[in-house]
Amino acid sequence: MAAERAGVETGELDEEPLPAGCELLLELYWQLRRAAGSGGFGHAAIAFSEIAAWQSLTGVELTSAELDLLTDMDAAALAAFAESVE
């Protein structure tokens, strides 16, 4: 990372490309993550009620696989958030 700060491109910070079609799901995830807020003890999980509200507002119905991906992404994010404060 010091090399990156010095302007030397190492590729270490390059992001992996998303699989085709995942951009919208990632965008949805971050919309829901912002809406989830916190419960006073750190970040709160994205509630299924928030997902249902989003679906109702947009008219888009997520598949069970997409719901699984969103909840898996959120679990990973919550674990990373918790780890960063330890």
Tell me the pLDDT tens digit for each residue of 37-68. Answer: 777 777 889 999 999 999 999 999 999 999 99
As a whole number, the mean pLDDT across the chain is 83
**Does residue 1 carry a pLDDT above 80?**
no
Question: Is the pTM for the entire model greater than 0.85?
Answer: no
Give dist(CA 80, CA 2) in Å, integer: 23
Would you say 61 and 69 are in contact if contact means Cβ atoms under 8 Å apart? no
The dihedral through the CA atoms of 48, 52, 54, 55 has a sign that is positive
| 17 bridge partner residues | none
DSSP-assigned letter for residue 49: H
